[in-house]
């Protein structure tokens, strides 16, 4: 895996690496219709900002990992390899 990964490997075990400013597409769209979110806080709960309406939410990390469909783009802190 040398190029930027834009998909989530379905069979990979272990925690999904998440970084600040990653932009993710979630399976569950926000009520505003947007499904693209930027990661704005990391911790036991993940802070997500809806890129469509700007709303900010806190979601349990496990729920975020489960709901991520793919990465739209990776933040500057994410490793590129
Ligand atoms: Zn929204």
What is the number of H-type helices and E-type strands within the chain? Answer: 1, 5
Query: Is the pLDDT confidence value at 8 over 70?
Result: no
Output the CA 81–ligand 1 centroid distance in Å: 31
pLDDT tens string 18-39: 999 999 999 989 999 999 999 9
Contact 35, 48 (CB under 8 A): no
Output the CA 1–ligand 1 centroid distance in Å: 33
**Other CB atoms within 10 Å distance of the CB of residue 4:** 12
Instruction: Report the percent of the chain where pLDDT is more than 70.
Output: 81
Nearest to 17 by CA among 33, 1, 34: 1
Output the CA 2–ligand 1 centroid distance in Å: 33
Output the CA 53–ligand 1 centroid distance in Å: 4
In angstroms, the CA 44 to CA 10 distance is 22
Output the CA 34–ligand 1 centroid distance in Å: 5
Predicted TM-score (pTM) of this structure = 0.78
- The residue ranges of every structural domain in the chain are 23-73
């Amino acid at each position: 895996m040398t190029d930027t990964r834009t998909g989530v490997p379905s069979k990979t075990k272990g925690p999904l690496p998440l970084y600040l400013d990653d932009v993710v597409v979630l399976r569950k769209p926000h009520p505003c219709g947007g499904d693209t979110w930027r990661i704005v806080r990391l911790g036991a709960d993940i802070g997500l900002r809806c890129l469509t309406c700007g709303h900010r939410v806190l979601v349990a990390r496990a729920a975020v990992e489960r709901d991520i469909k793919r990465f739209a783009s990776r933040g500057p802190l994410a490793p590129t390899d």
